[in-house]
Amino acid sequence: MSVDRSELHELVDALPDDQLPAAGDELRRRLPQSTTNSTWPPEFFNIIDGTEVPTDVAPNVDLYLAAYGFGSDSL
């Protein structure tokens, strides 16, 4: 028996409210378990640190990105 996503949506919509938690648990059980321990914020947050941080980054973002090669064609 083949089931597509739209049929699954219809089946879930037809379930009584008291059966939704069990159905959700069953579906979560079938998902691959994530082994990554994602923490927030990622390491790269606050990567710019120090007294030489420019204060005009927001209005000149394109200039700063261009200085490091962003937005230019790949060679």
Per-residue pLDDT of the chain (75 residues; tens, 9 = 90+): 678 999 999 999 999 999 999 999 999 999 888 666 667 777 777 676 677 777 888 898 888 888 877 876 655
Sequence-ordered list of residues with C-beta below 8 angstroms from that of 23, at least 6 positions apart, any chain: 12, 15
| pLDDT for residue 18 | 96
Residue carrying the six token digits 């009584």: 16
| pLDDT for residue 44 | 72
d(CA 16, CA 37): 35
What's the predicted TM-score (pTM) here? 0.41
| pLDDT for residue 69 | 79
| pLDDT for residue 58 | 87
